[in-house]
Structure 1
Amino acid sequence: MHKPERHILARLGSHLWSADRQMRKAFPAASLQRVEQAVTAAERGHGGELRVVIEGGLGWDALRAGSQGVEAPSLSRARAIDLFAQLGVWDTADNSGVLIYILMATHQLEIVADRGIHAKVGEAVWQGVVADTMARFRQGEYEQGLLHAIDTISQQLRQHFPAAPDDANELPDRPLVL
């Protein structure tokens, strides 16, 4: 077996076999409940919508595409953008939806913000949130890192999209686990 095949097999193993176990360990049911409560509480203070997605690993098709020269961060970003569209995060009334996507197999975190909030906040803020959260993840503080990300993003949403009396909850608050 030559080196590229070994790399593909290692990547396949991390996505298909170990990632789900790692995800359940990092985000047990009680942790997911606390994340849901944090999203619910945060959204009461602003007009934005947060959607959290935690995925153990990618499927074979995405990994095969990755074996053809796409780097892991690009795979996680592409997946996050795809989920942003599939889950309707882009379709909020004020264009203020934000997706927080975690791919456990590659230890990647992506933030995808709708054009309304992204135009007001900018890429540097999102990169800062990712860096701070990933630092906590590296310490094994997955729940605390995610709660910090929710709080930091919510600060931006409170500033740029203050709560209104008629704000509706447009997206589920419960983290989606894939």
Structure 2
Amino acid sequence: MQIGRMFRHLVTPSWVLGRVFTPAVMTAIEEAVKESETLHRGEIRFAVEAGLDLDELRRGTSARERAVEVFSRLRVWDTAENSGVLIYVQWLDRQVEIVADRGIAAQVPQAEWEQICRRMEAAFRDGRFGEGSAEAVRAVGQLLAVRFPARSDNPNELPDRPVLL
């Protein structure tokens, strides 16, 4: 257990996300999701979490493990074609994870998701939070458009608005 990491997570209030993920940034991400979903049958959710709670820190919960929990909590799996994708940002650790439902995971290699995550983390290091987030949404959309192109009946099954946890 890393004491510095634990301290950071426990003393940082969740409202700090609002400094970076401003209403304008949240709207830009939402618009990127809406635009992307016109090109494919997938459903993209975007979630940002400031810090983990004490139990998660004690267990040594990784960003990947937490992303899987958030995937379930936000019901990203609840789509007709098992086509949900979660872009999860663990803000304090500056880690990004993408979790794809089984219908998509069978079609898109994990390495392709990892490339998007690393590009987004690089954008964050450069201070390009809104741009990096929207670029990641568009990149996910491009992968989905190739493997799950839109049809004439393309329902929007999940909210497009990003969520701050």
TM-score by length of 2: 0.93
Partner of 2:24: 30
Shift, 1:11, TM fit: 2.1
Asked if structure 1 preserves the Cα contact closer than 8 Å seen for 2:50 and 2:92, the reply is yes
- Structure with bigger helix share is 1
Q: For residues 19 and 133 of structure 1, do their structure 2 counterparts lie closer, same or farther at Cα, with a shift above 3 Å needed?
A: farther
Asked if structure 1 preserves the Cα contact closer than 8 Å seen for 2:49 and 2:89, the reply is yes
Asked if structure 2 preserves the Cα contact closer than 8 Å seen for 1:22 and 1:104, the reply is no
Structure 1 counterpart SS, 2:45: strand
Asked if structure 2 preserves the Cα contact closer than 8 Å seen for 1:49 and 1:171, the reply is yes
Partner of 2:133: 146
Partner of 2:35: 41
1:177 matched to 2:164: yes
- Cα distance per residue 1:59-106 (max 9 Å; x no partner): 11101112xxxxxxx521111001111211112111111000001111
Structure 2 counterpart SS, 1:92: coil
**Structure 1 letter corresponding to 2:17:** M
Q: For residues 19 and 138 of structure 1, do their structure 2 counterparts lie closer, same or farther at Cα, with a shift above 3 Å needed?
A: farther
Q: For residues 18 and 27 of structure 1, do their structure 2 counterparts lie closer, same or farther at Cα, with a shift above 3 Å needed?
A: same
Matching residue within 86, 99, 103 for 2:90: 103
Counting aligned pairs with the same residue, the percent is: 43
Q: CA RMSD in A?
A: 1.5
Partner of 2:113: 126
Larger radius of gyration: 1
- The count of residues paired between Structure 1 and Structure 2 equals 165
Partner of 2:11: 17
Unaligned runs of 5+ in 1: 67-73
**Structure 2 letter corresponding to 1:20:** S
Give me the whole-angstrom Cα distance separating, in 1, the residues matched to 2:143 and 2:28: 21
Unaligned runs of 5+ in 2: none
Matching residue within 55, 59, 63 for 2:53: 59
Asked if structure 2 preserves the Cα contact closer than 8 Å seen for 1:19 and 1:104, the reply is no
**Structure 1 letter corresponding to 2:68:** I
Q: For residues 19 and 139 of structure 1, do their structure 2 counterparts lie closer, same or farther at Cα, with a shift above 3 Å needed?
A: farther
Asked if structure 1 preserves the Cα contact closer than 8 Å seen for 2:96 and 2:118, the reply is no
